């Protein structure tokens, strides 16, 4: 399943406020990546809402991951909270069959 197709199979992230992976890692990474690309200095506040879908790029291999569509709240340098939309792909790389367990996930803004 491609990244584009994954959007159509997305499901709401249940209990998003309690999802430490989304709140502590994925949401912060989205803001950090935005800051690097734009030169802004936003401060992560919260992931307000989001969708999650599994992505399978190649059968039998762990070129798979999770595609997130997130509504992220961040604070500007002036202290104003804004809401941003972020799309992030958490990708597991490696072949399960030949390498055993996949390595740690890598995440990219898409």
Nearest alpha carbon to residue 89 among 33, 49, 19: 33
Q: Span 24-42, mean pLDDT?
A: 93
Q: pTM value? A: 0.72
Query: Is the pLDDT at 26 greater than 50, yes or no?
Result: yes
**Domain 3-109, what architecture?**
Roll (3.10)
Sign of the CA dihedral 20, 24, 25, 31? Answer: positive
Please give the residue that has the higher pLDDT: either 66 or 97: 66
Residues 57-92 pLDDT 10s? 655 555 578 889 999 999 999 999 999 999 988 876
Query: How is the chain split into domains, by residue range?
Result: 3-109
Supply the pLDDT for residue 103.
47
């Amino acid at each position: 399943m491609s990244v584009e197709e994954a959007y159509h199979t997305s499901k709401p992230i249940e209990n998003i406020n309690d999802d430490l992976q989304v709140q502590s890692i994925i949401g912060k990474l989205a803001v950090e990546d935005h800051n690097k690309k734009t030169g802004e200095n936003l401060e992560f506040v919260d992931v307000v809402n989001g969708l999650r879908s599994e992505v399978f790029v190649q059968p039998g291999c762990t070129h798979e991951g999770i595609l997130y569509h997130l509504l992220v709240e961040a604070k500007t340098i002036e202290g104003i909270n804004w809401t941003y939309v972020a799309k992030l792909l958490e990708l597991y790389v490696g072949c399960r069959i030949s390498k055993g367990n996949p390595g740690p996930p890598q995440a990219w803004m898409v």
